[in-house]
Structure 1
Amino acid sequence: MTTIKLLTDEQLDALMQEAIKANLANPASLQALLSGMNPYFVGTIPYVPHPIAQLKLTLDRLNTTPELTDGSVPMVSWLRNAATFAGPMPSAKTFTNTLAAITSHVPAGPVIAREQLPERKERIVHENDMLPFGFLLGGQNAGRCVARALVPRFDSGTKRALTNGDPYLFMGTAWLVTSDLALTNHHVVNARVLGEADASRSDLDLQAGGTVLEFDYDHTSAPVDEAKVTKLEAVDKALDFALLRLAAPQAARRFLPLNTEPVAKHAPVNIIQHPRGRPKMIACRNNLVTHVGTTELRYFTDTEQGSSGSPVFDDAWRVVALHRASVDVDDVEYQGRKTAWVNVGTPIGAILAHLRANPSYAALWEEIRQVQGLSA
């Protein structure tokens, strides 16, 4: 029996290489690329633990499945997702061109009058918002790299305490960029209330050096894994970021992959956070991007005080921004109602560009670049 293939072996190999270049070969992205496919078909794709091998196996399976009985073509769904996740990267053009070539050969079904159609018990309403079950696993894995940040306050070199003697702590959220570098906001490490002057640089260094990150604080009785910070490696108030060096690498955790490309307006973004210092929570509903700028990404994703410093993810669980605040807005409508504010994050590409352009951060930039597999 002849096996029908949508693409030649050479075309399929080129597709695979472009996916690797676009950083789509990590486990979370591999699952997200299956979004919108028939779940029964997805369940037939074998699993292997090596990401590159999994990508090859998945593409081979898609390439030999021209059309399912429900009329869908899995490779079409994969290419659409790949083009979306690649954003403006050159790889996106390969995905869209391949998609156009495939869809031009997919036969259209017969035209049937609406009144002849039988009753349907299921229906996609506007956009298909379904995600593969692996999306949940990707979120769980990403969450292991997110921690509650406890920052002590220093005034003129003296550690401040509450009236009962307990340390005066500010809370936020932080996450792993590498195994021993964590990112949060400048204003989290600054440990000052609204209206106060910023901490001096010496106090800022003391506060950063005294910060403790609590990983695995997933519920109130969870045994947390504490990681101490030793140094403030980089900071910028305008971009509102602080890069912290941990005393020891978090070898048991995988750092979060970064997506430096601009996010499309109306794309969904998800946030894992510690709102008000409470156990870890995820916001992945009512979460569309409303504005994209060079140093500012705006979105509807819910946050609270204490969520500052959280990673803002795309659906492939790559970090696209560092959450920092909410801002008042005019004439923004969401779900049929006017809204007075939206949440704001600093695009991760802006933070990396700042590190790359600053000679004093040259070694730090190179360290992150190599770990994350970013272009020079």
Structure 2
Amino acid sequence: MVKFTVEERQRLVTLLASVPLLSTESGRAEMLALAGLGDLVPHIDLTGAPLVAVSRVVSHLSAYGRFSRDQEALGVFLNLVATLTGKEQQDFIAGLLLTHRMMVPVSPAPTVVSWKGVDSPGSVEEKIITSNTLRPVHFLERALDAARAVCHIEVRAGATGWTGTGFLVAEDLLMTNEHVLPREDLLADARFRFNYEDDPTGRPRPVETVRASGRVFLSDQELDFALVELTGRPGERWGRLPLADAPPPVGERVNIIQHPAGQPKQIAMQSNFVQYVDDNVVQYVTATLPGSSGSPVLTDEWRVCAVHHAGGNLREPATGSRYFRNEGFRVSRILDRLPADLRSRLS
């Protein structure tokens, strides 16, 4: 537990209250998450005036103690805050970190001596530009884990055919769009290809092709989803995707792992903001192409919040206005349509 003198605490709380990013409840939560302390957010009252709220944060983190072998939770937080302050504040925070053995402080930022924008150098404090795109490195590992459960679908119907994307939600159950698999009789000639992707050298990886078992097929045109059972329990080898209770709010990001235009597996995780959410659909600007239909729309926790099904000049249900967006039906609505025995088998 970190124990400050009265003077140290007063000066620290005043400093924190003056940081613009800590002036709002959402900003305080974002800073804690960015410091890797997101799990503590539900346990701290972040509401109220900045001076009161940051005082609670200091008290909670001080009492929490060690975050890791060499780091106090409060030290991790202050080390991040220091990057948003001027040299005098950085020196003060560095002194606290060293005096109270909280952690080694970050190296001080160089002074901005010339600035070609409309503001003077002294007013430039924040380093998060427009939105926070920083993620821990394991974010990429989790993306690769999630990608294993996504497959390329090839459907044949006589002389015609088409491709789409699907993903495992159980060891033997795959979800996609109804317009990718609209009828049960198409299953006999449908192919589900896992690991259809390139390695880092651009060479194709070995593909596993799986067939439908014919035992379970459920489709819904209104919500544009299909659920099909596959042979050989491929989820035991390729994993399955967990389902989210709710989609991210407007302004947050969603990532889509897909087979655009029938190509080897790709991922869209830039310029990927949610634009609209209601009880049925999520609309977003994450990139897709024909062939991406049936792809999982994933939160930053790599949980499926929707099944991608359409894009273009779409109508926003609440306003009737049209926007160029992509859209997926919410998983929660899809789950409501499933029989209890199937729902119990899902992630």
Length-normalised TM-score, structure 1: 0.59
The one-letter code sitting in structure 2 at the alignment partner of 1:363 is D
Query: Counterparts in 2 of 1:211-360, with a 5 A limit?
Result: 211-219=190-198, 221-231=204-214, 232-250=216-234, 251-329=236-314, 340-355=323-338
For residues 343 and 256 of structure 2, what CA distance do their matches in structure 1 show? 25
Residues 36 and 132, structure 1, Cα contact 8 Å, conserved in 2: no
Which amino acid in the other structure matches residue 154 of structure 2? L
Give the Cα–Cα distance (whole angstroms) in 2 for the partners of residues 144 and 177 of structure 1. 12
Q: Which residue of 2 aligns with 1:133?
A: 137
Counterpart AA for 1:184: T
Which letter does structure 2 place at the counterpart of 1:145? A
Match of residue 75, structure 2, among 67, 74, 95: 67
Mapped to 2, the partners of 1:305 and 1:34 lie a distance apart of 39
2:192 and 2:326 mapped to 1: Cα distance?
Answer: 24
Query: Corresponding residue for 1:104?
Result: none
- Cα distance in 1 for partners of 2:210, 2:74 equals 50
Residue 229 of structure 1, CA deviation: 1.1
Residue pair 1:152, 1:170 contacting (<8 A) in 2 also: yes
Q: Residue in 2 aligned with 1:150? A: 154
Counterparts of 1:218 and 1:128, CA distance in 2: 30
Return closer, same or farther for 1:61/1:291 CA change in 2, 3 Å cut-off: same
CA drift at 1:118: 11
5+ residue gaps, structure 1, are 6-32, 39-57, 74-113, 154-159, 162-167, 191-203, 332-338, 356-360
1:183 to 175, 185, 209: 175
Question: With CA pairs under 8 Å and 6+ residues apart, which has the higher RCO, 1 or 2?
Answer: 1
RMSD: 3.3
How far apart in 2 are the matches of 1:353 and 1:283?
Answer: 28
Q: Report the more deviating stretch, 222-231 or 180-189.
A: 222-231
Residues 291 and 366 of structure 1: CA distance in aligned 2, closer, same or farther (over 3 Å): same
- Give the TM-score taking structure 2 as reference length: 0.63
Counterpart of 1:47 in structure 2 is none
Structure number, greater radius of gyration = 2
**Change in CA separation of 1:116 and 1:252 when aligned onto 2, cut-off 3 Å:** closer
Q: In the alignment, is the contact (CA less than 8 A) between 1:210 and 1:230 conserved in 2?
A: no
- 3-state SS of 1:352 partner: helix
Residue 351 of structure 1 aligns to a residue whose secondary structure is helix
| 1:215-248 alpha-carbon deviations (Å, 9 max, x no partner) | 1111262221111112342110000000010011
